[in-house]
Structures are given as C-alpha cells and as structure tokens.
C-alpha cells in the first residue's frame, strides 16, 4: 500500500483576520438547523486539534443528543504541553473567531454558558480577552442568542489540560483526572453534558461554518483532513508558528525547518514521539502517522538525547497529579532508572525493565499523562540507546 | 477585620459562595498578597462553609497558589526543554547573583522571589521569564538583569 503523501504547504485559515467576519459568520450560522451544522462538521472530517484527535462533529452530536436542560461549552486554553505555544497566539490575534466557535457550539448543543479555561501562565492575555468577551456577550444579546461566555483561569498545573482534571479545577478541586466513562459529552463540567474543545478546534469549526466542509476537506489526507497550526522550536533557524496542511512527510518538514544537521524531531511535545533521521522519509505528520497537538521540537547533532529525556522525565515527575500510583511512582522510577544506568550503577539491560514499567503505566494509569510517558521514553531509548548508557 | 479578611469578603461577594468559586477566590488573594496564609485559607473555608483542609488540599495542588510567603514580586524562569536548550541556566545564575538569592528564595527586603516554572509557552522565543503576570521572552543574562533593574526602579 502506498501512502498518500503531501508536499509542505502553508495555509492561512486560522489567522486570517477580516474585521467583523466572525460576527457575520455567527449571525449567518445560527439561522441554520443545528443538525445541518453537525453534518457539515462531520463531513469536513475535522478532528480535535489539542492532540487526542476526536472527531469534533461527533462530540457536538453526542452532547446535543443528551437530554439535559443544562449543558456547557468549554474552550480548553490550558496549553501546557512543552513545545506548544500556538493557542496563545490564536487567543492574542483572533479571539473573536474562538468566541464565535464557542457560541455556535452553544447554539448547536443547546447550552447557555460557555467558558474559556485559560492557563495561569497566560494571565497577561486576560486584559484584552476580557474586553473582547464583554463586547462579544453584548453582541449575543443584540442578536437575541441566549448564551454567555465567561473566563476561568488556571493556576499552573499541566494536568489540568486533561479535560476531566480541568472540570475538577473549575469546580474548585485539585486537578485530578476522573475515571472515564462517563465522558464529558455525558457528564463533564458540574457533571452536565459538556463539549470541551481545544482553542484551534473551535476556530476551525467557525471557519468550516464560513467556507463549507468541501473547501476544508480539499486540504490534508483521508485520515487527516484540513490544516493544523504547528509550534516549531528547538534547533531551527526559523522557530515560530506555522499553519501547514496535514499529512506531509517529516522529511519535507525537516527540509523546511531544520538547520541542516537535524538528528531527531520530537513530535507532539514531551508526551509525544521522538523520530530519528533514518525514519524522516516514512513518517507522516497526521492521524495516520504520528498525530500532534502541534508541537514540533527539532534537535541537531549537538544535543544529548539523554539530557532531553531527562528533562522530559523531570517534567512528568513534577506534573503528575500524584493521584494514581503507576504514574506517580512510575515517573520517578524512570527518572532514577536512567540516572542509575548513566552512572553505571545499573547494567544497560535495566533499560528493558524500565520499558516494561512504561507498559504497565500505559495500561494502569488513569489519564493520558501517565499513559503517554512511555512514548518519549521508548522512542528515545530505542533510537538512542548508546546516548542513554554512555 | 484584617485587610486579608476584607479582601476575602470582597472576593466572596464578587464570585459567590459555591465551591466553584474557590479557585477564583484563591487566585484573587494570591494576586494581592502573593501567597495564601493559614489565616486566609481558614477564612475562605469559613466563608464557603467547607473544611480548611479542603481549601489547603486544593491550593497546595497548584503551583501558582503558593502557601508559603513570597515576595511582592515573583519571578518565574522557564526551565523546560526549549528554554534549557537556550541556556536558561545562565539567566537563572545571573538573577541569583543580582538578587543575592537562590531559586526558591526571597530577597531580604521581601521584594522579589525567584522561582523556576515548567513550560511557559514561549518555546520559539526562549529563554523566557514571568515577573508576576508580565512576560519577557528572548532573554540574555544582560537583558534579564536590565529588566529586573528597571522593574525595581519603576515603583
């Protein structure tokens, strides 16, 4: 089977900023039948842009189908994955497009309240965002849409980007993830049916309502429709935020953004996968290959992959909520383990024991944090074993 | 009533007495006082009719809801991978020397606390630091010192 591959193509859907456009999209869209809007979203193939990639149209549909007078829309702006910084830029540059997406969702599912959960590290965005939200709420009143957007702040906890931990935080508790099911579409914020979408996903929802699913579908591949905003950092002469068509092979990405000496790319942040040079040609960036919330960290040959893995593990040790044992203890043991191998206190074969531990963490951890620590661990240990040992 | 109690009653008035208003209330106290004292947490518990242990349990989960005294200004230098690759250690060392404190400590005049933070979301413009809510990207040791110096003299 030959995979469908794409060239690297820059796109401008997210940041295109035409004054007043969002408001007119909203006015036009809320005259439509909610089921038709859902059909358009499903047809577009839009999948969540936060990393997990759940089909957005289905999420809205499931929540709409719940028979409950109280429902919520939440915009997850708790962007904490190392290497990801696109949501900050979207909030800064096109807040109205996000607000419009929230209101359209509210209209579709039958919610009266929407929230933006903004990470505490982005408090400096609040001043402008509060103003835009006030203007937007006034506009909603004017067009007689019974919906209101509010802002809630985070306080520096990576795990609160996990949707159920985010609800706990909004409800005034420790940000500890819940067991699933029930899923948020059934029992989310305040245990009511909730759509929780990433910032970028909501903007795409707005734009699909504007341009129609056909135009969106033309971009990307069968499994990965549309474009995506990438956060590019590390050893690159041009770090920054780029909207690119999905489904491109990694080597094209490296040609564009690498510094000529790229030895590995970490796709999807600290919880993502490390891909080495020899796999650049047959790695697709998209849901059929390696999906990503947008984080692309480039490492050149001057970097020690041991140091990089060490940094990731320290990050997870600190950010694990501590609720479930496999994640709390697992992260610490992985960190101590590679340190012991490096110092020669443990034989290289100990790495196999640690890999078994990541398999346990994947099965037994309650949320995505503990489940995904094995992604960077195994992909770095397998590809750069010598660097970890010596 | 102490100033903290006045502040808490204002925050409770604004955000309400439900458990859902706990985070905004605690954030409001930290905004003004930079940390949550035992007295503050006990009064919040009383106002919301929940146990003080519940308030402390929630607060102590969050990095930005400090439960130990902090200076009037809190500096947080990002220590995560991209900033590490761009020499955040030099920034921290320069600030430690200038403020004559180590990471985690507060200056004697109680003006500045120096902390590190996990990814602040500026990986393309590292190293980066926050002074309170304000962000300062693309630092060099020299520019970091200049920024802190100007901050000291801007009051």
Q: pLDDT digits over A360-381, tens only?
A: 999 999 999 999 999 999 999 9
Q: What is the pLDDT of residue A293?
A: 87
Tell me the CATH number of domain B3-61, given options 2.60.40, 1.10.132, 2.40.160, 1.10.10.
1.10.10
Class of domain A11-217: alpha beta
pLDDT bin (cut points 50, 70, 90) of residue A244 is very high
- Tell me if chain B has a CB within 8 Å of the CB of A171: yes
Q: Are B105 and B67 in contact (CB under 8 A)?
A: no
Quickly state the pLDDT bin for A4 (edges 50, 70, 90).
low
Q: Give the three-state DSSP class for B113.
A: strand
Q: Rounded to whole angstroms, how far apart are CA atoms B52 and A167?
A: 21
A-chain residue closest to B22, CA distance: A172
pLDDT interval class at A107 (50, 70, 90)? very high
| Residues of chain B predicted below pLDDT 50 | none
Exposure class string for B10-31: b at 16+ Cβ within 10 A, else e: ebbeebeeeebbbbbbbbbbbe
Mean pLDDT score, A227-248? 96
Distance CA B88, CA B94 (A): 10
Q: How confident is the model at residue A2 (pLDDT cuts 50, 70, 90)?
A: very low
CA atoms within 13 A on the CB side of A119: 28
Q: What is the mean pLDDT of the segment spanning A14-28?
A: 94
Q: Which of A82, A157, A311 has its CB closest to that of B62?
A: A157
Indicate the domain borders of chain B. 3-61, 73-153
What would the pLDDT profile of B91-110 be if each residue is shown by its tens digit?
Answer: 999 999 999 999 999 999 99
ipTM of the complex: 0.97
Distance CA A369, CA A312 (A): 12
Q: Hey, which residues 287-346 in chain A have their CB within 8 Å of chain B?
A: 295, 297, 303, 307-308, 311-312, 315, 318-319, 321
**Residue B1's pLDDT is what?**
77
Q: What is the pLDDT of residue A7?
A: 77
How distant is the Cα of A92 from the closest Cα of chain B, in angstroms? 13
- For the structural domain made of B73-153, what CATH number should be given? 3.40.30.10
A218: tokens are 């033309």
Option in B64, B85, B119 nearest A80 (CB): B119
C-alpha–C-alpha distance, residues A264 and A247, integer Å: 19
Residue of B nearest to A86 (CA): B121
Task: Report chain A residues whose CB lies below 8 A from the CB of B135.
Answer: 124
pLDDT at A169 over 70: yes
- Report the half-sphere exposure of A386 (CA within 13 A, side-chain side): 0
Residue A116, strand partner residues: A75, A151
In 3D, which of A40, A58, A39 has the Cα closest to residue A48?
A: A58
pLDDT at A1: 43
Full-model pTM: 0.96
Chain-chain contact of A155 with B58 (C-beta, under 8 angstroms): no
pLDDT in tens, A66-83: 999 999 999 999 999 999
In this prediction, residue A274 has a pLDDT band, given cuts at 50, 70 and 90, of very high
Whether residues B124 and A239 touch (CB distance < 8 A) is answered with: yes
Distances, alpha carbon B145 to alpha carbons A180, B65, B86, B97, B100, in Å: 48, 26, 17, 10, 12
Give domain limits for chain A. 11-217, 305-389
In terms of Cα–Cα distance, which of A370, A234, A375, A380 is closest to A296?
Answer: A234
Closest Cα in chain B, distance from residue A87 (Å): 9
How far apart, in whole angstroms, are the C-alpha atoms of residue B84 and residue A386?
Answer: 22
Interface of A with B in 36-75 (CB under 8 A): none
Contact between chains at A152 and B24 (C-beta distance less than 8 A) = yes
pLDDT of residue A51: 82
If residue A298 lies in a helix (H) or strand (E), which one and from where to where? strand A295-300
Mind listing the pLDDT tens digit for each residue in A297-331? 999 999 999 999 999 999 999 999 999 999 999 99
CB contact under 8 A, B20 and A172: yes
| Partners of residue A169 in chain B, C-beta under 8 Å | 23
**What pLDDT, on the 0 to 100 scale, is given for residue A5?**
61
Distance CA A78, CA B137 (A): 19
Nearest CB partner across the interface for A156, out of B63, B84, B124: B63
**CATH class of this structure's domain A305-389:** mainly alpha
Q: Residue A152: its chain B contacts at CB < 8 A?
A: 23-24
Q: Are the CB atoms for B4 and B37 separated by under 8 Å?
A: yes
In sequence order, which residues have a C-beta less than 8 Å from that of residue A18 and are 6 or more positions away?
Answer: none
């Amino acid at each position: 089977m030959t995979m469908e591959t794409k060239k690297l193509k820059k796109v401008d859907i997210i940041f295109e900023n035409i004054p007043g456009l969002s408001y007119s999209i909203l006015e036009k869209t809320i005259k439509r039948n909610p089921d038709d809007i859902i059909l358009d979203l499903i047809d577009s193939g839009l999948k969540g842009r936060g990393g997990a990639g759940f089909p957005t149209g289905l999420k809205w549909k499931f929540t709409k189908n719940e028979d409950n007078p109280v429902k919520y829309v939440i915009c997850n702006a708790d962007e904490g994955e190392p290497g990801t910084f696109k949501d900050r830029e979207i909030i800064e540059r096109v807040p109205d497009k996000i607000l419009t997406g929230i209101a359209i969702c509210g209209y579709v599912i039958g919610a009266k309240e929407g929230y933006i959960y903004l990470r505490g590290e982005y408090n400096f965005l609040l001043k402008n965002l509060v103003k835009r939200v006030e203007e937007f709420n006034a506009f909603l009143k004017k067009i007689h849409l019974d919906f209101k957007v509010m802002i809630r702040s985070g306080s520096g906890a990576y795990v609160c980007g996990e949707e159920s931990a985010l609800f706990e935080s909004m409800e005034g508790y420790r940000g500890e993830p819940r067991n699933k099911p029930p899923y948020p579409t059934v029992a989310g914020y305040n245990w009511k049916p909730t759509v929780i979408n990433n910032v970028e996903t909501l903007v795409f929802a707005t734009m699909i309502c504007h341009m129609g699913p056909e135009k969106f579908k033309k971009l990307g591949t069968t499994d990965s429709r549309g474009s995506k905003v990438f956060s590019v950092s590390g050893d690159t002469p041009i770090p920054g935020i780029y909207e690119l068509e999905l489904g491109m092979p990694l080597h094209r990405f490296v040609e564009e953004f690498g510094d000529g000496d790229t030895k590995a790319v970490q796709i999807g942040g600290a919880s993502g996968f490390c891909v080495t040079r020899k796999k650049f040609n047959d790695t697709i960036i998209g849901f059929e290959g390696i999906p990503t919330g947008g984080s692309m960290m480039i490492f050149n040959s001057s970097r020690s992959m041991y140091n990089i893995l060490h940094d990731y593990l320290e990050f997870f040790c600190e950010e694990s909520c501590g609720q479930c044992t496999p994640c709390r203890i697992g992260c610490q043991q992985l960190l101590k383990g590679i340190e012991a191998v490096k110092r020669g206190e443990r034989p290289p074969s100990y790495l196999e024991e640690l890999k078994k531990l990541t398999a346990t963490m994947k099965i037994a951890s309650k949320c995505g944090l503990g489940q995904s620590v094995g992604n960077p661990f195994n992909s770095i240990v397998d590809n750069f074993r010598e660097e970890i040992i010596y | 009533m102490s100033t903290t109690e006045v502040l808490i009653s204002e925050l409770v008035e604004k955000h309400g007495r439900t458990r859902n208003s706990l985070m905004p209330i605690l954030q409001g106290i930290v905004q003004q006082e930079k940390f949550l004292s035992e007295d503050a947490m006990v009064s919040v518990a009383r106002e919301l009719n929940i146990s003080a242990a519940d308030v402390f349990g929630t607060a102590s989960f969050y990095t930005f809801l400090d439960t130990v005294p902090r200076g009037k200004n809190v500096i947080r230098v990002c220590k995560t991978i991209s900033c590490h690759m761009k020499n955040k250690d030099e920034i921290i060392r320069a600030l430690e020397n200038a403020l004559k404190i180590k990471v985690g400590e507060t200056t004697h005049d109680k003006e500045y606390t120096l902390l590190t933070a996990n990814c602040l979301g500026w990986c393309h413009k590292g190293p980066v630091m926050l002074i309170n809510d304000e962000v300062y990207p693309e630092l060099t040791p020299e520019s970091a010192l200049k920024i802190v110096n100007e901050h000291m003299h801007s009051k």
